Structure 1
Amino acid sequence: MTRRTAVQLRAIRIRRAYDEPGADDGYRVLVDRYWPRGRRRESLKLDEWARELAPEPDLIKWFGHMPERWDEFRQRYLLWLDAPGQMKRMSELLESAGDKAITLVYGARDETQNQAVIFRDALQALQRAIE
């Protein structure tokens, strides 16, 4: 990967699976453990499904999108993403995207308290650390 300054870091965005893909989405990655209901593969225009980087089923079930559990969910998921295997997978995702912007696609209704928000933050931190 080429070395970039802080100003040149690629954009990492999030977009709901139920919104139409944007022309500037770049490398589109589904970051849900489960396929979004009612969405066809063709309509999502994905480059990758990073299912193994989504929260584990037990953590998803425990969180249940309950706002009072958000902070703990965030901590648990970040700790899990910090494991060496997950860091390697995130690095591979950055490599696969090349110089394109990355759009993380998710299916949750809540646009501010979902795993894609946490994953974006972790991916941005990794990108800053390695570039």
Structure 2
Amino acid sequence: MSVRVRRVYEPPEPDDGVRVLVDRLWPRGLAKDMARVDEWPKGLTPSTELRRWYHLDERPYEELRGRYEAELAAPEAAELLNHVRELAAKGQVTLLTAAREPATSHAEVLARLLDD
């Protein structure tokens, strides 16, 4: 299984495989044709409440991880997570996020869950 995280603002690379946007909101200032997004499973993204909570006063990443994993246990999110896991079993999957620090974002939580 091969999953990686990249910023959606970076130019697409030939080895990206299936490009999956994992943000609930479309990235500011980015034209859809330039992003080359293959899938955008909004039910897999953090809830609006969680997203706002995390960006308020720079909350701890570990707490984000726990809260987001709890959201991913919901039936719709779990089904979408399995779908992306199946894509990764077939080849490269690149999770795309607009987060400034992808290593401490929800996209990294997803990547870890997919690699398990």
Structure 2 length-normalised TM: 0.89
Contact 2:18-2:38 at 8 Å conserved across structures: yes
- Compared CA separation, residues 84 and 41, structure 1 to 2 (3 A): same
1:19-41 CA-partner distances (Å, limit 9, x unpaired): 11111000000000000001111
Question: Pick from 62, 66, 72: which aligns with 1:81?
Answer: 72
Alignment partner of 1:103 is 2:94: yes
User: 2: distance between equivalents of 1:65 and 1:39?
Assistant: 24
Gaps of 5+ in 2: none
Select the structure of larger CA radius of gyration: 1
1:53 matched residue in structure 2: 44
TM-score (norm 1): 0.80
User: Could you list the runs of 5+ residues in structure 1 that have no partner in the other structure?
Assistant: 1-9, 126-131
In the alignment, the residues of structure 1 paired with residue 41 and residue 76 of structure 2 have an alpha-carbon distance, to the nearest angstrom, of 13
Quickly say closer, same or farther: Cα 1:100–1:66, change in 2 above 3 A: farther
Q: Percent identity?
A: 34
Aligned-partner Cα distance in 2 for 1:87–1:118? 14
Partner residue, 2:29? 38
CA distance in structure 1 between the aligned counterparts of 2:9 and 2:106, rounded to whole angstroms: 16
Q: Which amino acid aligns with 1:21?
A: P
Report if aligned partners of 1:32, 1:54 keep a CA contact under 8 Å in 2: yes
* Aligned twin of 1:118: 109
Corresponding letter in the other structure for 1:84: P
| Whole-Å separation in 2 of the counterparts to 1:23 and 1:56 | 31
SS in 2 for 1:14: strand
The reply to whether residue 12 of structure 1 matches residue 3 of structure 2 is: yes
Shift in Å at residue 85 of structure 1? 2.8
Q: Name the structure 2 match of 1:129.
A: none
